[in-house]
Chain A
């Protein structure tokens, strides 16, 4: 077995050193009838054979690069520079552990410090942590953090929040008997949770651009929330939008969570991704997750360490702010390398290219008979109302090699009034030919 260095001679000699005749003497605490079970699994295989099997499975999937591609709703197809994947495959990054020995983990710690700075700047906030599992779990942790700060138990989710995010918040908050109220979905971008905010509200969770693509002004919501002593949690599922839109922090958000996949990370069928989590300095000790901080070494030289760990489970145990003891290390490195290559001006240009691709797509598709574009504003994603069930349409277009977008029925199963909606995303990878192909295919199937 190519991954196991011990030879049979080594094993025999080591058993003698240890003082056992058979390996199973070391498993003597395992109940005898449960030792060495017969397993219905194959034996080991060579690299060639394994690769062949995996390639076979891979070939059964239609990759985003295989044809015109317009799916979004929390995961986006972007171009990632080749440098990014090279860096994250460096042994010293890929095969390191959590930087608990800072003297020999400065590489990881310094990029985390750079990552935190980039995230804080993009979100317009004062501090950011070293990342979360993904955007949705970051949103759930943000709601729990708001509860710790406000000591209140009511969470309001806006109707434009990605329904899966709302469900993750529900699942986590209801465990401790908190009330989670979701405003009705508002595909036309008109609904608001403004009137639902009261003095029992812990936080309002608002996404912009929202799941239908509308760009929301958060300022008035922030003001109303603050009047009632509640926090505004801003959710962003498309990190490239930070390049072009006003930051949530500048509009009064108290916590900003985002899915960072779009910068540096592949689609990966939903994971691994990288959750961004930023907050105000005054709330830093309520934050979940790892934090990297600056300090000095014994010679007075600058260095970095994981810090404020008294919030964390390995110190605080059942009093910890969260049970989280991991971040999305390698994905945050990918984010940071890509962001360092882009710089602020590069990100802005990338964001403009995304927006323009979406503008062109919206204009083209609005010409298809029976199709209505619901958005007045959008970043790189917008919603169409089709004259028939959008899931049927996406399936028919998939047969033609086109991934047309996300149908309403996929996100809101059973909600008939949303079934005809198709949410369409365009990015810098979308070509004019892709848009033309989608338009003519849509004309054919409608």
Chain B
């Protein structure tokens, strides 16, 4: 009772009116922040640059009459603006980010430190090779780790994201078919219904026809249906393993043998490699190509949606068709093969202007050296154990999509919400009020109202228990008929539920001066 003894007594929280509206619209640490265009001044600036000397321009008459009409902020204003914006984001550094098939794990800061070493961050992609031997050696070492972890003989390093890696793998398959003289006849690619949307999109971008593979009742590819679809027009299959239901395709070798026998290739989507790194090697399972998301498995950060990096490992059959550039070494050191001639004669082409995501390579190699082979295997085991722990605990109130254990992600259907009036999206939005980022929702498409939870290995048991306790309480609440909080959720987030339909119907994709006038008029 010592507290507040001199002042006015604090009322109990439940007596407070939760609907206090402030004059600013702010809620303490939650600040409504205008766009820079509404607050910055044209002519303002947060950089001090010297006065130009007034040399006569040689711009071929193409000089613009005036500067771009964009506001500038002083450094303190800019800092405050972007820090305030940052505080409206959820992030892995704040709590579990259980997005299935996204592998949101802790991002070690050592990786950020090494990526900023001047010998990596301050070198130019076209400076003489003799001046970047350390960079080429780093790429070569990272490639060595990736090849050893996958038991594959080659890796294309330049793809800039997972989907770009998929494109690389499928381009290599197309090039191999061209070399065999079968590109005109082998035009069909088999893709499971449960696949990431990028798989069919990639196949289509390569000019292939996509043929859907049904899932069996156990959440895996239906082996018989798959075999029946094979034929002389099949270019290959694209299968994720572990798949998007969080299950290992136990028939993977039989599938690989069958597609090879039919003259096609096996593309494996490596999005879920975190479950198996150090535990098993795709090269021993019969695959021909697989991309590795360095931003997932090897923790180069997601950065709010990129940059990613998607090196793609290739089998003996596809290795000759790898795109330029690639690193080779001899007694004189390392060098790049940058042209589709000579050593790169069979290369299917070039995917990017330069050599790939060097900044991500540095972070990934740092991560690998830190973990070592023992740490990587332990990480995969812990990731799988954490997912199974969550699956087991949540099964008390929620409905697992498939019986048995899972790999690194636990999949639930919305069956436990049946007749409650609460949908998967409401359940997810209520999680936001409880302080958690929702799981992946409505994916994979083969499960009704799917909820896909991937905790990763960097969650503690304490954290998982908090998470599970909260979800179990929410599930009970939904079943008890209290639907209001679900429909209203999120209540405590920086924004209430956003109208995505309006955004798509009348797209407003940039700020215009009229917007400011309209706001002022209101």
Chain B hits for A348, CB < 8 A: 67-68
Known A13-B461, A127-B509, A297-B498; judge A92-B86 contact (CB<8 A).
yes
Chain B hits for A313, CB < 8 A: 163, 197-198, 200-201
Q: In the assembly, what is the distance between CA of A413 and CA of B324, in Å?
A: 13
A-B contact pairs, 29 of them (CB 8 A): A26-B384, A27-B280, A54-B369, A58-B134, A63-B119, A92-B89, A95-B302, A106-B85, A121-B69, A134-B354, A162-B353, A267-B123, A268-B359, A269-B355, A269-B358, A270-B355, A271-B354, A271-B360, A296-B502, A298-B498, A299-B496, A323-B166, A326-B307, A327-B306, A344-B71, A345-B72, A346-B72, A352-B52, A398-B128
Known A57-B134, A324-B163; judge A303-B107 contact (CB<8 A).
no
Given contacts A44-B375, A71-B126, A245-B62, 8 further A-B contacts (CB under 8 A): A17-B389, A50-B114, A53-B369, A95-B91, A323-B198, A325-B163, A341-B73, A403-B128
Q: Residue B437 at the A interface, CB < 8 A?
A: yes
Query: Which of A150-158, A195-203, A223-231, A331-339 lines the interface with chain B?
Result: A331-339
Q: Is the CB of B461 within 8 A of A96?
A: no
Q: How far is the CB of B62 from chain A (nearest CB, A)?
A: 5
Among B101-123, those with CB < 8 Å from A are 102, 104, 106-108, 110, 112-114, 116-123
Q: Is the CB of A99 within 8 A of B304?
A: yes
Q: Is the CB of A4 within 8 A of B382?
A: yes
Counting from the closest, the 9 A-B pairs by CB-CB distance are A343-B72, A270-B354, A60-B134, A58-B119, A377-B60, A171-B349, A330-B303, A270-B125, A272-B307
Q: Residue B247 at the A interface, CB < 8 A?
A: yes
Known A19-B392, A245-B59, A294-B508; judge A27-B125 contact (CB<8 A).
no
Q: Residue A376 at the B interface, CB < 8 A?
A: yes
Q: Which of B32, B163, B374 contacts A44 (CB 8 A)?
A: B374
Q: Is the CB of B349 within 8 A of A293?
A: no
Q: How far is the CB of B412 from chain A (nearest CB, A)?
A: 16
Q: Is the CB of B35 within 8 A of A269?
A: no
Q: How far is the CB of B243 from chain A (nearest CB, A)?
A: 11
Q: Is the CB of A356 within 8 A of B55?
A: yes
Q: In the assembly, what is the distance between CA of A47 and CA of B375, in Å?
A: 14
Q: How far is the CB of B506 from chain A (nearest CB, A)?
A: 9
Q: Is the CB of B49 within 8 A of A428?
A: yes
Q: In the assembly, what is the distance between CA of A95 and CA of B460, in Å?
A: 18
Considering the complex, give the chain A residue whose CB is closest to the CB of B59.
Answer: A215
Q: Which of B148, B197, B496 contacts A298 (CB 8 A)?
A: B496
Considering the complex, give the chain B residue whose CB is closest to the CB of A266.
Answer: B121
Q: Is the CB of A331 within 8 A of B306?
A: yes
Q: Is the CB of B124 within 8 A of A267?
A: yes
Q: Is the CB of A34 within 8 A of B280?
A: yes
Chain A hits for B89, CB < 8 A: 92-93, 96, 104-108
Q: Mark A69-92, 1 if CB is under 8 A from B, else 0.
A: 101011101000101011111111
Q: Is the CB of B124 within 8 A of A111?
A: no
Q: How far is the CB of A339 from chain B (nearest CB, A)?
A: 7
Query: Which of B312-320, B416-424, B487-495 lines the interface with chain A?
Result: B487-495
Q: How far is the CB of B87 from chain A (nearest CB, A)?
A: 7
Q: Is the CB of A96 within 8 A of B91?
A: yes
Q: Is the CB of A63 within 8 A of B112?
A: no
Q: Mark B423-437, 1 if CB is under 8 A from A, else 0.
A: 000001100100001
Known A1-B378, A3-B370, A58-B120; judge A83-B79 contact (CB<8 A).
yes
Q: In the assembly, what is the distance between CA of A353 and CA of B203, in Å?
A: 47
Q: In the assembly, what is the distance between CA of A295 and CA of B507, in Å?
A: 9
Considering the complex, give the chain B residue whose CB is closest to the CB of A61.
Answer: B119
Q: Which of A294, A341, A377 contacts B47 (CB 8 A)?
A: A341
Q: Is the CB of A217 within 8 A of B499?
A: no
Q: In the assembly, what is the distance between CA of A130 and CA of B58, in Å?
A: 33
Q: Residue B521 at the A interface, CB < 8 A?
A: no
Q: In the assembly, what is the distance between CA of A338 and CA of B198, in Å?
A: 32
Q: In the assembly, what is the distance between CA of A12 and CA of B75, in Å?
A: 52
Q: In the assembly, what is the distance between CA of A96 and CA of B381, in Å?
A: 24
Q: In the assembly, what is the distance between CA of A390 and CA of B130, in Å?
A: 15
Q: Is the CB of B308 within 8 A of A20?
A: no
User: For chains A and B in complex, what number of residue pairs have CB atoms within 8 angstroms?
Assistant: 712
Chain A hits for B429, CB < 8 A: 103
Q: Is the CB of A295 within 8 A of B499?
A: yes
Q: Is the CB of A134 within 8 A of B58?
A: no
Q: In the assembly, what is the distance between CA of A347 and CA of B69, in Å?
A: 10
Q: In the assembly, what is the distance between CA of A411 and CA of B304, in Å?
A: 34
Q: Is the CB of A18 within 8 A of B388?
A: yes
Query: Which of B1-9, B38-46, B228-236 lines the interface with chain A?
Result: B38-46
Q: Is the CB of B163 within 8 A of A284?
A: no
Q: Mark A1-38, 1 if CB is under 8 A from B, else 0.
A: 11111100011011101111001011101110111110
Considering the complex, give the chain A residue whose CB is closest to the CB of B310.
Answer: A326
Considering the complex, give the chain B residue whose CB is closest to the CB of A350.
Answer: B49
Q: In the assembly, what is the distance between CA of A359 and CA of B280, in Å?
A: 59
Q: For chain B, which range describes its interface: under 10, 10 to 19, 20 to 34, or 35 or more residues?
A: 35 or more
Q: Residue A39 at the B interface, CB < 8 A?
A: yes
Considering the complex, give the chain B residue whose CB is closest to the CB of A319.
Answer: B204
Q: In the assembly, what is the distance between CA of A98 and CA of B132, in Å?
A: 33
Q: How far is the CB of A41 from chain B (nearest CB, A)?
A: 4
Q: In the assembly, what is the distance between CA of A36 and CA of B93, in Å?
A: 31
Q: Residue A118 at the B interface, CB < 8 A?
A: yes
Q: For chain A, which range describes its interface: under 10, 10 to 19, 20 to 34, or 35 or more residues?
A: 35 or more
Q: Residue A122 at the B interface, CB < 8 A?
A: yes
Q: In the assembly, what is the distance between CA of A303 and CA of B496, in Å?
A: 9
Q: Is the CB of B35 within 8 A of A75?
A: no
Q: Which of A106, A294, A414 contacts B494 (CB 8 A)?
A: A106
Q: Residue A318 at the B interface, CB < 8 A?
A: yes
Chain A hits for B371, CB < 8 A: 1, 3, 44
Q: Is the CB of B304 within 8 A of A329?
A: yes
Q: Is the CB of A349 within 8 A of B353?
A: no
Considering the complex, give the chain A residue whose CB is closest to the CB of B368.
Answer: A41
Query: Which of B10-18, B205-213, B257-265 lines the interface with chain A?
Result: B205-213
Q: In the assembly, what is the distance between CA of A53 and CA of B138, in Å?
A: 10
Query: Which of A304-312, A364-372, A437-445 lines the interface with chain B?
Result: A304-312
Q: In the assembly, what is the distance between CA of A269 and CA of B361, in Å?
A: 11
Q: Is the CB of A50 within 8 A of B384?
A: no
Q: How far is the CB of A342 from chain B (nearest CB, A)?
A: 6
Q: Residue A290 at the B interface, CB < 8 A?
A: yes
Q: Is the CB of A45 within 8 A of B372?
A: yes
Q: In the assembly, what is the distance between CA of A81 and CA of B359, in Å?
A: 19
Q: Residue A212 at the B interface, CB < 8 A?
A: no
Q: Is the CB of A269 within 8 A of B124?
A: yes
Q: Residue A433 at the B interface, CB < 8 A?
A: no
Q: In the assembly, what is the distance between CA of A256 and CA of B15, in Å?
A: 58
Q: Residue B485 at the A interface, CB < 8 A?
A: no
Known A18-B385, A95-B302, A244-B64; judge A414-B370 contact (CB<8 A).
no
Q: In the assembly, what is the distance between CA of A25 and CA of B279, in Å?
A: 12
Q: Residue A179 at the B interface, CB < 8 A?
A: no
Q: Is the CB of A315 within 8 A of B130?
A: no
Q: Mark B469-490, 1 if CB is under 8 A from A, else 0.
A: 0000000000000000000101
Chain A hits for B125, CB < 8 A: 74-75, 267, 269-271
Q: Which of B75, B119, B174 contacts A59 (CB 8 A)?
A: B119
Q: Residue B292 at the A interface, CB < 8 A?
A: no
Q: Is the CB of B85 within 8 A of A107?
A: yes
Q: Mark B374-401, 1 if CB is under 8 A from A, else 0.
A: 1101110110111011011100000000
Q: Is the CB of A343 within 8 A of B70?
A: yes
Considering the complex, give the chain B residue whose CB is closest to the CB of A13.
Answer: B461
Q: Residue B53 at the A interface, CB < 8 A?
A: yes
Q: Which of B110, B119, B392 has the most CB of A within 10 A?
A: B119
Q: Is the CB of B123 within 8 A of A168?
A: no
Q: Residue B329 at the A interface, CB < 8 A?
A: no
Chain A hits for B148, CB < 8 A: 39-41
Q: Which of B45, B133, B285 contacts A61 (CB 8 A)?
A: B133
Q: How far is the CB of A43 from chain B (nearest CB, A)?
A: 4
Known A117-B510, A318-B200; judge A108-B304 contact (CB<8 A).
yes
Q: Residue B405 at the A interface, CB < 8 A?
A: yes
Q: Residue A149 at the B interface, CB < 8 A?
A: no
Q: In the assembly, what is the distance between CA of A41 and CA of B500, in Å?
A: 48
